[in-house]
Homo-oligomer: A and B are copies of this chain.
Amino acid sequence: MSEPLIFTQSRSGRSAAGQYPHEAAARVPEKLRRKKPAALPEVSELQAVRHFTRLSQLNFSIDTHFYPLGSCTMKYNPRACNQFAMLPEFLGRHPLAPDAVSQGFLECMFELQEMLKEVTGMKGVSLTPMAGAQGEFAGVAMIRAYHRARGDLERNEIIVPDAAHGTNPATATMCGCVVIEIPSLSNGDIDVDALKQSLGPKTAGIMLTNPSTLGVFERRIQEVAKLVHEAGGLLYYDGANLNAILGKVRPGDMGFDVIHMNLHKTFSTPHGGGGPGSGAVGVGQRLLPFMPIPVVARQENGYRWLDERDVPQTIGRLSAFMGNAGVLLRAYIYMLMLGRPGMQRVAEYAALNANYLLARLRAAGFDAAYPQRRASHEFIITVKRQAKELGVNAMDFAKRLLDFGFHAPTTYFPLLVPECLLIEPTETEAKQDLDGFVEAMIAIQREAEQEPQKLKGAPHTLPVRRLDDVRAAKQLDLAYVEAV
């Protein structure tokens, strides 16, 4: 299965004529006028529909495959969220429409803020960040603004564990901070001694995710919080992994000052093949004055957006309007459908699935990276041994899994575990599917022992076989050029 580029299907003069106005001529001064039309595809409506429908079929997705991509929380995206978020009134609402014709939407946003406060244990929530990384940005920017507002101008160091997601250090840099990396212990916990040594008068804060991306819960979190706070720093919670603890423990209660949430993970909005997401931030008392705007407030005469006049110390705006509203609506709808009991179940069954899958894989002879620990909602298998003994690596396992109809786990992240597969089944997968995954892993292990080239050459049954990434980066081909 493969599909030619749409450009090769284009023919001059063809069009989907029902899609644009009958007649219209633009008036543009000669020197500003476009002379040659942009060479966009010229195809019929059927050709476009067929092309993109066929392209879609080349993808794995939650709706078609088990997708245990660690740290990405690929769980079921309820179709109802999409349907109700796309009601014509919501789709048609202009972001700058007056409050009088926006109360329905604003009420949803306000209630979403309130629910997110409740589940995180924070004091305020801003929905504006457009993805996790922007939520992180908002968080670190608030930490900086906090220190600055106190005249504490030297604090520009952000401590980040080596297991952290790449966005954490990248964000710190973007905020003009210096990144101090600290190691993890072999049991997966933070090296608290190293932390102590890193803390000091320049400490702005620490970015943690707990459970960490190693798939284990940071047990000494209260001690960490105390240490950082005593050093004058603040604690940032990377809430991409909130799925692990939803309803079980709240970042606010653990001592965090600020958190971002990946609504496109924990709150099950779709990832759309790359996005959109939403990285709503929650803050404790200290950071309330600095929240990114706009934020919805409920007032006597209805709901309205707070802006720079209401939040004068705000770190400012992060998007042209108010973030990914449609994603927020989906998260809101999802939360309403979960409700209180459902919210609690998320972490329970996510942990059950992860621990079960871990137990079965271990029983099948695979090595856990942290065998002494409970898995959180995800866990790490390392195939270091197989790499050494059989010459097949994590990538080979990953690619071969595709042939078995399973999306691969996250590979080579976190960077500190060699040949790792970070596996996150999520709570919406059935035991049968986990069992199927285990069987596939066992079959692949057997192949690795008996015919390792099966793995090396994998995938064999997908639209393409393994791609040459080196060539992609060296002989850059980033846009199609017609042969002449």
Q: Please list the residues of chain A having a beta carbon within 8 angstroms of any beta carbon in chain B.
A: 9, 11, 14, 18, 44-47, 49-50, 53-54, 57, 62-65, 75-76, 78-80, 337, 428-430, 432
A9 interface neighbour in B53, B337, B429, B432, Cβ under 8 Å: B432
Q: Which residues of B contact A63 (CB under 8 A)?
A: 49-50, 53
A57 interface neighbour in B9, B18, B57, Cβ under 8 Å: B57
A76 interface neighbour in B49, B79, B428, Cβ under 8 Å: B49
Residue pair B337, A18 in contact (C-beta under 8 Å): yes
Question: Would you list 19 pairs from A and B whose C-beta atoms are within 8 A, ordered by A residue?
Answer: A9-B430, A11-B432, A14-B430, A18-B78, A18-B337, A44-B76, A45-B76, A46-B62, A46-B75, A46-B428, A46-B429, A47-B430, A49-B63, A49-B76, A50-B63, A53-B63, A53-B64, A54-B64, A57-B57
Q: How far is the CA of A430 from the CA of B429 in the complex (A)?
A: 43
Residue pair B11, A430 in contact (C-beta under 8 Å): yes
Q: How far is the CA of A387 from the CA of B50 in the complex (A)?
A: 34
Each complex incorporates copies of this chain amounting to 2
How distant is A291 from chain B, measured CB to nearest CB, in Å?
33
Residue pair A78, B45 in contact (C-beta under 8 Å): yes
Q: How far is the CA of A197 from the CA of B198 in the complex (A)?
A: 106
Closest partner residue, chain B, to A339 (CB atom)? B18
A49 interface neighbour in B14, B47, B79, B337, Cβ under 8 Å: B79
Q: How far is the CA of A45 from the CA of B77 in the complex (A)?
A: 10
**Of residues A14, A64, A79, which shows the largest number of chain B Cβ atoms within 10 Å of its Cβ?**
A64
Q: How far is the CA of A40 from the CA of B49 in the complex (A)?
A: 35
Q: Which residues of B contact A57 (CB under 8 A)?
A: 57, 64
How distant is A74 from chain B, measured CB to nearest CB, in Å?
11
Q: Which residues of B contact A337 (CB under 8 A)?
A: 18
Q: Which residues of B contact A9 (CB under 8 A)?
A: 430, 432
Q: Which residues of B contact A50 (CB under 8 A)?
A: 62-65
Known contacts A14-B430, A44-B428, A46-B75; 10 additional CB pairs below 8 A are: A9-B430, A11-B430, A18-B78, A44-B76, A45-B76, A45-B78, A49-B79, A50-B63, A50-B65, A54-B64
Q: Which residues of B contact A432 (CB under 8 A)?
A: 9, 11
Q: How far is the CA of A224 from the CA of B44 in the complex (A)?
A: 40
Q: How far is the CA of A261 from the CA of B169 in the complex (A)?
A: 66
How distant is A322 from chain B, measured CB to nearest CB, in Å?
27
Q: How far is the CA of A337 from the CA of B432 in the complex (A)?
A: 49
A76 in contact with B430 given A18-B337, A53-B64, A54-B64 (CB within 8 Å): no
Q: Which residues of B contact A11 (CB under 8 A)?
A: 430, 432
Residue pair A430, B64 in contact (C-beta under 8 Å): no
Q: How far is the CA of A18 from the CA of B342 in the complex (A)?
A: 10
Q: How far is the CA of A18 from the CA of B432 in the complex (A)?
A: 22
Q: Which residues of B contact A44 (CB under 8 A)?
A: 76, 428, 430
Residue pair B46, A76 in contact (C-beta under 8 Å): yes
Q: How far is the CA of A79 from the CA of B64 in the complex (A)?
A: 23
Q: Which residues of B contact A76 (CB under 8 A)?
A: 44-46, 49
Q: How far is the CA of A428 from the CA of B14 in the complex (A)?
A: 12
Q: How far is the CA of A11 from the CA of B435 in the complex (A)?
A: 14
Closest partner residue, chain B, to A76 (CB atom)? B46
Closest partner residue, chain B, to A337 (CB atom)? B18
